Homo-oligomer: A and B are copies of this chain.
């Protein structure tokens, strides 16, 4: 299976270059505005996803695209969000359509629904106070793929945009689309703060989730990318049932 990773030079791009390779079923190419030194890539295109002509040819002959290219910080200022997260994401869907790519896995973000953390019990959970749920994770009402969007930033709004564009391209052009509301992925690959005991996503669970999104039977879906953490409040049951997501890691094992 030939796949193209946009943003291949970034943090998650690196995780996927390493771990998706281990599944043995992917021929991986990359596109990124920054160069990367990785001999395992079948090909690499140096190009900015904002520049349609610079990057769209890399889509030719691909079976699927994993779209990661974006400004990742939630604090990204609006002009950069508009250019690198909104306009670039449109270009990726359009290049996939133009070149007959069958599927796009879109790196959405938990920040598309980040404002649930303004409300209890999530507000307490992210600061490590579990008293409102009687210290029992089964009391947490999970935020799932059916909740209203509640972006917490311009960055979060751009992820809603990417999910909406995916839905449009799915329903009008038959593109298969999986949107992943990815949690906390860090270079250290372990929970680095209190919130991460709810929100952490390990590198291998991330790669497994993307693998399932690439090979399972889907049309348009939204899934949460989070490890099987004790204090998690993003639903993984739907991904388990729909595509067989079975996370191996738990943030509390690092306590």
- Residues in chain A within 8 A of chain B (CB atoms): 78, 82, 86-87, 90, 94, 115, 118, 146, 148-154, 156-157, 160-161, 164-165, 167-168, 171-172
CB-based contact A153/B171 at 8 Å? no
CB-based contact B168/A156 at 8 Å? yes
> Which residues of chain B come closer than 8 Å to A118, judged between CB atoms?
171
Given A82-B90, A86-B86, A87-B82, residue A150 in contact with residue B165 (CB < 8 A)? no
CB-based contact A167/B146 at 8 Å? no
- Distance to closest chain B CB from A193 (angstroms): 21
> Which residues of chain B come closer than 8 Å to A87, judged between CB atoms?
82
A87 to B81, CA, bound (A): 10
- Distance to closest chain B CB from A12 (angstroms): 23
What 15 new A-B contacts, CB under 8 Å, besides A151-B168, A160-B161?
A: A78-B90, A78-B94, A82-B82, A86-B161, A115-B167, A115-B168, A115-B171, A146-B148, A149-B164, A149-B167, A150-B167, A151-B164, A157-B168, A161-B161, A161-B164
- Distance to closest chain B CB from A119 (angstroms): 10
**Among B78, B157, B168, which residue has its beta carbon within 8 angstroms of that of A164?**
B157
**Among B115, B148, B157, B172, which residue has its beta carbon within 8 angstroms of that of A161?**
B157
- Distance to closest chain B CB from A114 (angstroms): 9
Identity of the chain B residue whose Cβ is nearest the Cβ of A81 in the assembled complex = B90
> Which residues of chain B come closer than 8 Å to A168, judged between CB atoms?
115, 151-154, 156-157
A92 to B91, CA, bound (A): 25
Identity of the chain B residue whose Cβ is nearest the Cβ of A159 in the assembled complex = B164
CB-based contact B172/A152 at 8 Å? yes
- Distance to closest chain B CB from A95 (angstroms): 13
A243 to B167, CA, bound (A): 31
A82 to B150, CA, bound (A): 22
Closest CB pairs A-B (n = 10): A160-B164, A151-B168, A157-B164, A115-B171, A161-B161, A157-B165, A151-B164, A157-B168, A149-B164, A82-B87
> Which residues of chain B come closer than 8 Å to A146, judged between CB atoms?
148
